[in-house]
Chains A and B, each alone.
Chain A
Amino acid sequence: MSAKTLMRQFLSENKWAYVISILAIIISNFINVQFPHILGRFTNALEAHRLNLHDVLVYAILLFVVGVVYVQFYAIGQYRNGKLGREFEYLLRRRLFAHWEVLSTEYFRHKSIGDLLNHAMNDIRQVREALSGGLNILTNAVFLLLATLIMTFTTVSMKLTVVSMIPLLFIPLFIVWFGPLIRTSSRQVQEALSDMSDLTEESLSSIRLIKATANEDVETERFRAKVDHIVHQQLTLFRRSATFQAFIPTMSSISFAIALLYGGYLTLSHQIQLGAFVAFTLYIGQLVQPLQQIGFVINNFQRASASLTRLQVLLDERPSITDCEQPIELGHVRGEIEVNLPSFQYADGQVPALRDIRFHLMPGQTLGIVGRTGSGKTTLVNLLPRIFDPPAGTIFLDGHDIRDIRLEALRQSIAYVPQDGFLFSTSVGENISFGDANASREQIEEAAKAAQVYDDIASFPDGFDTVIGERGVTLSGGQRQRTAIARAFLKSAPILILDDSLSAVDMRTEKRIIEELEKVRQHKTTLIIAHRLSAVRHADLILVLEHGEIVERGTHDELIRLDGIYAKTYHMQQQGEALRA
């Protein structure tokens, strides 16, 4: 459902709530304009010496009642609108997250998280602002203006009102023209500030180099330039906003002077009474406010509409990977994999990322994939759980084209350990049981033991309940990888993919994990991507990829005999380890 539909639906569902709050504001406006009127009548009575002390009290009570009641009505309308707007904000965010959850990886590859967050935070807030504060102000401005005009036309003088209002009409025009200038300026200030932060961070992160090259003064100069730029931008902003702040009182004072002159003349020539004159000077104040607000509200609605359009685009995005018409439900998965892939190209790619990849894995077998960075290893294993979609009829699981299998069932049958060992900032235990919320503590501990991370976790302040990232608990690269492996072990799926997930683990631990793997996954299919060849040595089949193609294939022994890239690399790594150990 798109953002605009969502908004329309929300508005129509809550239309009575909105009617009530808008009515409340309108009522408050019409009560509000009685305030100067009563003061005017009080003035007239006072001038005419028609008053006694008791009447004065009555007028005071009247003013008191009007003053309290209109504020009450306005508060009701304002609060209700604000609450509704915040409810919509909440709905929109919920909708957005649910939407992101169904979008494919392809989509996230092209978006920066910062941009997406910007939509979720600022665009949504902007829409909410229009729907709560903006609506309040708009209603208030329109009806207060209307009510004030009605009052001045009927109780004071139409001519006086029209003449005095002329300078005020420039206020909304000025705001619509000048408001965006101020916003641009304020954005430039923000940019200048973040430029300075970036430079500071860059500089302090490289402090060793800076010190070692006696470059402190050069850095201070670079910093000075950024700071000077901030000062310059700040002063531009303040000059602009000072101009802005000067304009409104100037216009309203001219208005007031006209009211004084013309109103004074009307009073002197007895065309209006002193009370009407006094009331009018108060009404002028009530005219300034809504006219000012109309300007702001126009700017506010413009921004909100741009935000809504951006959200619209975001929510219109369709997931590129979905179930086919009649997806196959997998029952028991044996884990037989057949790949017969002539070519695979990313949607935005110029050349195929993979070419002529063909192999067949029987249930329980282990496949090793090696090759340089960028040779297509990760791309290949990402096709299996359909993180990226392979062409139809190229990859089969238990004899079914994976594109025909229900996506949920397909992914259910695969456990995956990503390259970066991505973990959530929840407790270690929750991370390991991420695939199964009902896993018991024993299961979690068992998985941790198999992944050789149990001892590490036990040494954390709260063991498995230690929250990652809290109280300074940060995991090393190796600990992250092993925790991610434990998470995959716990899922205990028929197929396991390790995407270079042992790179930060030392040799000895790697060996133990591999042994564990062979034991636990005897009858299950495993795919291992590795840089260190020791991690794939035991595999039933090893593929060596280069530029997206298989250049060598076979078991470890076969490849050593072949004496090609694999054999050369193997020897070199054996030697390299000797010094490192």
Chain B
Amino acid sequence: MSTMDSSADRQRRKAGVSSLGRLLPYAKPYVWQFALVLVLVVIFNASTVMQPYLVKVAIDSDISTKHPNYHGVLVIALIYVGVVIIGVAANFAQTVLLQNAGQNVIRTIRLSLFSHIERQAMRFFDTRAVGRLVTNVSNDTETVSQFFTNFFLSLIRDGLSIIMIVVAMFELNGRIALYCMVLIPIIFAISFGFRGQLRRAYQTTRTRLSNVNAFLAENLAGMRIIQIFHQEERQSRAFEELNESHRQANVYEYRTSVWFNRAFEVLGNIAVAAVVWMGGGAVLKHWIAFGTLYAFIRYIQQFFQPINAMTQQWNTLQSSMVAADRIGQVLAVQPEIVDAPEPVKVNPENVRGRIEFHHVTFGYQPEQPVLRDINFVIEPGQFVGVVGATGAGKSSVMSLLTRFYEPQAGDITVDGISIRAYAQADLHRIIGIVQQDVSLFTGTVADNIRLFREDISDAKVHEAAEIVGADALIRRLPNGYATQLYGKGSNLSAGERQLISFARIVALNPRILILDEATASLDSQTEELVQRGLHTVAEARTTMVIAHRLSTIRRADNILVLDKGRLVEQGTHEQLVAASGLYAMLDAESGVEAGTRDTRPL
């Protein structure tokens, strides 16, 4: 890892401390569960510390005495089993309880993160990769959950365990216990020293392994190219390099971990030898009984495990902080577009559908307007076409009407009320859009049409499909409406996907419909079907078509012609042709027959 990276890492960790703090309130409802876990951990630890003590008692007062007492041994053995069972039960309950609390905390974080992201305005998504956000929701939360479970548990269990062992030792004999305390800083020092090295070795190995993985993935995908260009040897050599460098890192990592674990073991054995030396002398001088020495030996052996475990959790803490910081950054973004404090109450079904753009100016970057001073009115029930070259601003008109973005100047009204006054959810129930690239979800065809809404019945789904002419087509699929669609609908043709998106919009029944170059990918037969269906749908509502081919909008009540962000002409087809402006030119170029047939390449 380069120094630059690690300093950035440090920065993130620093920010992570406060981020973790900000996530703590999510744990608040579970505070009693965490408290109970604490109690259970104390019980478990006490049972662990009790065990050597019980044997000590058996040795000192029942076995190795002048008056051996077998009954005493029996009692102690029974207590011993009892103590272990209580400890085991406490540990079991603790694990289940803690995980339950931890998982629920993460569940809440995930839900609020997800709905927070969904509430963001489109600009948020324009500047962020989806993959990054998915990582935030799935991996980062998973890492943070380690904090609420593993780290929390280790802190109390291992911390307490060290304390309780120390206390037990001092109870037995202060002087020997004091000598043993020399060990604590040594163990911590070795542990931390090695941990850092181990972590770096592990990261190097992991990076190199993922290089191997990435190389293989790419070369398997491009195997045909390798073979046709006859570069097998060259790629083999390239692979060899990655493979070899991974092997070296891998062996080094293993060696470091062997070293680490064995060093710890040696240290443990040395500690026992030291206790024997000090404690043996003490027994000789009758300062302590033999059983006490025995207990010391067992305690010193028990000592290493919690310290080792705690240093391990240090890594967990660090990665949790980095992850918490990333989550915090997303949660800190306030949605750019929010509903008015008291939005107008409206029944979407009763909207008439009058649209007005009033001096609207808009740019994705404020200094680069893509729409300038746009004014137009669409009367309820009208069928309006929007035409213009790529980049003329056609799609931006749609994005503004749906309030995906806010214009820099001007206002847009629906039925005379500014769209800012509507609740966004209402606005989106009033306006429906059909996009060129169809989004499909993993689920059945019916679910894709009703968008998983429970309030849309099967009958309604079928009816919608019938209206757009998709019914027959869907019934031909292997399981009809119950056919499972996979990753991005790859088992459907472009035309079929498009039809489903039409059916979807019909099922939702918005009062205003926007079609964004929607029929571009249909073959002529399907397109005819769709066109017919759409005309039925359009009849009862205000419809805006962002046209790719002029034929689609020839019969429109009004045609808006955009050029470089300005509305340059509007009128019916006949009016615009008569005006012999930009539209007339486009129309002439497109030819008489254009668009009535499939213009898709063969």
Contacts and interface: CB of A to CB of B under 8 A. Distances in A.
A56 interface: yes
Closest 3 CB pairs of A and B: A67-B269, A206-B439, A60-B277
Contact of B227 (A66, A72, A411): A411
Contacts of A46: 280, 283-284, 290
Given A42-B280, A93-B212, A64 B273 contact: yes
A265 B58 CA distance: 11
Contacts of B250: 86, 89-90
B178 interface: no
Contacts of B115: 216, 220
B220 A249 contact: no
Interface stretch (A7-15, A174-182, A274-282): A274-282
A205 B284 CA distance: 77
30 contacts: A39-B276, A60-B277, A63-B272, A66-B269, A71-B262, A71-B265, A82-B255, A83-B254, A98-B236, A105-B223, A121-B209, A197-B138, A202-B441, A205-B439, A214-B427, A215-B451, A216-B119, A216-B425, A230-B103, A234-B99, A239-B96, A246-B92, A250-B84, A260-B76, A264-B62, A268-B70, A435-B231, A532-B601, A533-B601, A579-B548
Contact of A261 (B73, B89, B125): B73
A107 to B, nearest CB: 9
Most chain A CB within a 10 A radius of its CB, from B51, B81, B103, B601: B601
B425 A214 contact: yes
Contact of A47 (B64, B99, B221): B64
A339 interface: no
Contacts of B219: 97, 100, 424
Given A101-B226, A435-B231, A208 B277 contact: no
B318 interface: no
Given A61-B273, A220-B111, A242 B92 contact: yes
A243 interface: yes
Contacts of A371: 602
A340 interface: no
Interface of B: 51, 55, 58-59, 62-64, 68, 70, 73-74, 76-78, 80-81, 84-85, 87-89, 91-92, 95-96, 99-100, 103-104, 107, 110-111, 114-115, 117-119, 122, 125, 130-131, 133-134, 137-138, 142, 209, 212-214, 216-232, 234-236, 239-240, 243-244, 246-247, 250-251, 254-255, 258-259, 262, 265-266, 268-270, 272-274, 276-277, 280-281, 283-284, 290, 294, 297, 402, 404, 424-429, 431-433, 435, 439, 441-442, 451-453, 488, 504, 508, 548-550, 586, 589-591, 593-594, 597-599, 601-602
Interface in A244-266: 245-246, 249-250, 253-254, 256-258, 260-261, 264-265
A223 interface: yes
Contact of B270 (A67, A228, A412): A67
Contact of A245 (B70, B84, B95, B213): B95
A216 B337 CA distance: 15
A206 to B, nearest CB: 3
Interface stretch (A141-149, A303-311, A414-422, A510-518): A414-422
A340 to B, nearest CB: 23
Contacts of B227: 101, 105, 387, 411
A531 B84 CA distance: 77
Contacts, number: 368
Contact of B589 (A64, A78, A578): A578
A185 to B, nearest CB: 13
B516 to A, nearest CB: 10
A246 B91 contact: yes
Contact of B402 (A72, A212, A243): A212
B559 to A, nearest CB: 14
A78 B258 CA distance: 7
Main secondary structure of the interface of B (DSSP, over half): helix
A46 B138 CA distance: 61
Contact of A93 (B78, B125, B230, B243): B243
B508 A213 contact: yes
B103 A39 contact: no
A35 B273 CA distance: 10
A569 B177 CA distance: 94
B284 A94 contact: no
A51 B77 contact: no
Contacts of B229: 411, 416, 434-435, 487, 491
Main secondary structure of the interface of A (DSSP, over half): helix
A117 B215 CA distance: 10
Nearest to A570: B602
A201 interface: yes
B599 A68 contact: no
A171 B91 CA distance: 19
Q: How large is the interface on A (under 10, 10 to 19, 20 to 34, 35 or more residues)?
A: 35 or more
Given A216-B115, A235-B103, A42 B442 contact: no
A207 B118 contact: yes
Contacts of A265: 70, 73
Contacts of A53: 281, 284
Nearest to A59: B276
Interface of A: 35, 39, 42-43, 46-47, 51-53, 56-57, 59-61, 63-64, 66-68, 71-72, 74-75, 78-79, 82-83, 86-87, 89-90, 93-94, 97-98, 100-103, 105, 108, 113, 116-117, 120-121, 132, 193, 196-216, 218-224, 227-228, 230-231, 234-235, 238-239, 241-243, 245-246, 249-250, 253-254, 256-258, 260-261, 264-265, 267-268, 274, 277-278, 281, 370-372, 385, 387, 408, 411-412, 414, 416, 418, 422, 424-425, 434-435, 437, 487, 491, 531-533, 544, 565, 569, 572-573, 575-576, 578-579, 581
Nearest to A581: B589
A215 B428 CA distance: 9
B602 A200 contact: no
A212 B63 contact: no
Nearest to B130: A204
Contacts of B51: 253
Contacts of B441: 202-203, 206
A213 B432 CA distance: 7
Contacts of B223: 100-101, 103, 105, 108
B104 A231 contact: yes
A569 B601 contact: yes
Given A60-B276, A424-B218, A204 B104 contact: no
Nearest to B235: A101
Contacts of A132: 254
Contact of B266 (A71, A102, A213, A250): A71
Nearest to A285: B301
Given A116-B216, A193-B138, A434-B231, 12 more contacts: A63-B272, A67-B269, A67-B272, A101-B227, A220-B114, A222-B452, A274-B64, A274-B290, A278-B294, A487-B229, A491-B229, A581-B589
A250 B255 contact: no
Nearest to B505: A213
A268 B73 contact: yes
A64 B275 CA distance: 11
A209 B599 contact: no
B258 A79 contact: yes
A137 to B, nearest CB: 13
Contacts of A214: 424-429
A60 B276 CA distance: 6
Contact of A43 (B134, B255, B290): B290
B277 A264 contact: no
A243 B85 contact: no
B593 A575 contact: yes
B134 A204 contact: yes
A414 B228 contact: yes
B81 A254 contact: yes
Nearest to B79: A257
B440 to A, nearest CB: 8
A268 B68 contact: yes
B221 A204 contact: no
B294 to A, nearest CB: 6
Contacts of A228: 107
